Amino acid sequence: MTKPILTVVIPVYNSSEYLERCFRNLSKMIGENAKNVEVLFINDGSTDTSLEQLEYEVKDKAQYKIINKAHTGVSDTRNYGISQAKGQYVTFLDSDDSYCENFIPAFLSEIKQAPDIVWNDVINLCKDHFQKIDSETVCLSLMEMVLGISKEKIQEGIASKFYKTSFLRENNLFFNSKVVISEDTLFILQALTKANSIFLSNKEFYFILEEHSLNRFNPNTLKGELEYRKQVQELLDAYKESDKKRIINDRTKINGFCTLIYRYFGPLIQQNKCSINEGAKELRRIAIVRHYIESFNNSQIDKTLSRRYIILRKILAKNKYRGALIIDILFDKLKRQTWK
């Protein structure tokens, strides 16, 4: 096999029910361009039949490779993919989603100027273009796009983003395994601070078909959010004060703090592992000590938030931490959401 242009990294963990569809989607995406693509299926210690299915599907397909490793989570798995990738560019896909058919010819056109990063699926983008990242304003504007603050925007997740492999390695850019929610966003923001150029396209590439983790409680969510907050703050501290920097900081603070309510303290209370008063007391302490409280009055962020988070922000702006928890739990009851 000749050196590929693109390496596709697909973490696999107990994904047996999606793999057949995954191979169909990949085949359509790659089309007649197999020589330009390497697909790394990284089996993250699956305990179902995923490995057997992978071994069956990749027979006689030189562009597909299976890598087995112990279960350490999606971030470590993607990082291993970065270290093993042979392609000029690397992207990360989930096994249970769908991708644009015959995409590779379009991608080859997008990398003619060798950008460090390529984004597809950019919403409200008038024209595809190559962009040098040669000022703080440009970089912060791209961050605003990721966070949904500007008119042009792109989803925060890892989907539809491609990175020059040498760029990631030379800048030691890897996913932070301590962050369990928004690890994708952190990776994207950190990559933007190092990149010299990006290609932006409104071409549809990635289609998220299902969401599987929203009602699963992760006990590391609190530590992960505090690590995320620390990393984002360190990143933004390198920029001079501006309206763009301020709104990015507030957006990540509000979203992160509401996530603590929705994904951590709310579930703990519903599982009778914490009382509402105890949760409210700890939330208040975190808000003050970690400086989240400074962002709660910024209503400009509301257009980027879900209805639940908008309501929570307004309650938090009134210093009502107990009330925020009560409303969050009510949302779960109305949606009949339970936490595993």
Hey, where are the domains in the chain? 6-207, 221-334
pLDDT of residue 195: 98
Tokens of residue 144, six digits: 């605003």
First to last CA, the chain: 45
Question: Where is pLDDT greater, at 308 or 1?
Answer: 308
Judged by phi (left if over 0) then psi (alpha if -120 to 50, else beta), residue 289 lies in alpha
Tokens of residue 300, six digits: 């400009």
pLDDT of residue 185: 97
pLDDT of residue 210: 61
Q: What is the mean pLDDT of the chain?
A: 95
pLDDT of residue 213: 46
How many C-beta atoms surround the C-beta of residue 331 within 10 A? 16
Alpha-carbon span 21 to 59, nearest angstrom: 17
- Mean pLDDT computed over 305-322: 97
User: Per-residue pLDDT tens for 32-47?
Assistant: 999 999 999 999 999 9
Alpha-carbon span 48 to 68, nearest angstrom: 14
- Cβ pair 10, 84 in contact under 8 A: no
Alpha-carbon span 177 to 123, nearest angstrom: 29
Using N-to-C axis directions, what is the helix angle for 243-260 and 136-146, rounded to 10°?
30
| Whether pLDDT at 116 is above 70 | yes
Which of 89-98, 155-164, 272-281: highest mean pLDDT? 272-281
Burial environment of residue 202 by CB neighbours within 10 A (0 to 12, 13 to 18, 19 or more): middle
| Whether pLDDT at 279 is above 50 | yes
| Whether pLDDT at 215 is above 80 | no
DSSP letter at 249 equals H
pLDDT of residue 75: 97
- Mean pLDDT computed over 295-315: 97
| Whether pLDDT at 309 is above 80 | yes
Residues 6+ apart with CB under 8 A from 132: 138, 196, 197
Percent of the chain with pLDDT strictly greater than 90: 91
Q: At the top level of CATH, which class does the domain 6-207 belong to?
A: alpha beta
